[in-house]
Amino acid sequence: MKPEAFCALFVLVSVMTLTVESASAQAASEADVHAFEHLESVWNEAHERGDADALESLWANDLEIAVPHMSVLTRADAAKFAHSGQMKFERYYTSDLHVRVYGDAAVVSGRLQRLRTMNGQQVSDDWRFTKVYVREAGKWRVVAFHASEGAPALAVH
């Protein structure tokens, strides 16, 4: 290989490596972690209070929600459901939060424990969840929320 070709190949590989590294998750700063912990508190308290307007202020226009035992909801679907008051939360608590920031996008995952009443029946949920946030006009908005049944703790021998 000619030295010029080797140098060009080296530069190309270096640029590709830097591009891949910059696209990977950045360690969330302490400020990022606190910001998303606050957003989780706002989300959780809005559910407990039945405050549909507070929830809507957290949602991106193209929100999609996928949770067990429900059809996938758009923002319009979620707003209609939240304003209906059909579901009352006695407890809505997140823990084990893991925050990853990717520029103007972030992923928050963790455990969600809920105690709710719907159609006169009390239901308890223990889920794992993932929220995808995007920064729109300087504010973080939830664009996707997914939850699944929490798996039982793994027995380690």
Comparison of pLDDT for 12 and 27, the residue scoring more: 27
What DSSP element (H or E) covers 139?
strand 139-149
CA distance 154 to 157: 10
Please report which confidence band the pLDDT of residue 29 belongs to, taking 50, 70 and 90 as the band edges.
confident
Instruction: Tell me the one-letter amino acid at 97.
Output: L
Residue 114: other Cβ atoms inside 10 A:
21
What DSSP element (H or E) covers 44?
helix 30-49
- How do residues 90-131 score in pLDDT, each as one tens digit? 999 999 999 999 999 999 999 999 999 988 899 999 999 999
CA distance 7 to 30: 40
pLDDT at 115: 95
CB 50 within 8 A of CB 88: yes
- How do residues 42-91 score in pLDDT, each as one tens digit? 999 999 999 999 999 999 999 999 999 999 999 999 999 999 988 999 99
CATH, domain range 26-149: 3.10.450.50
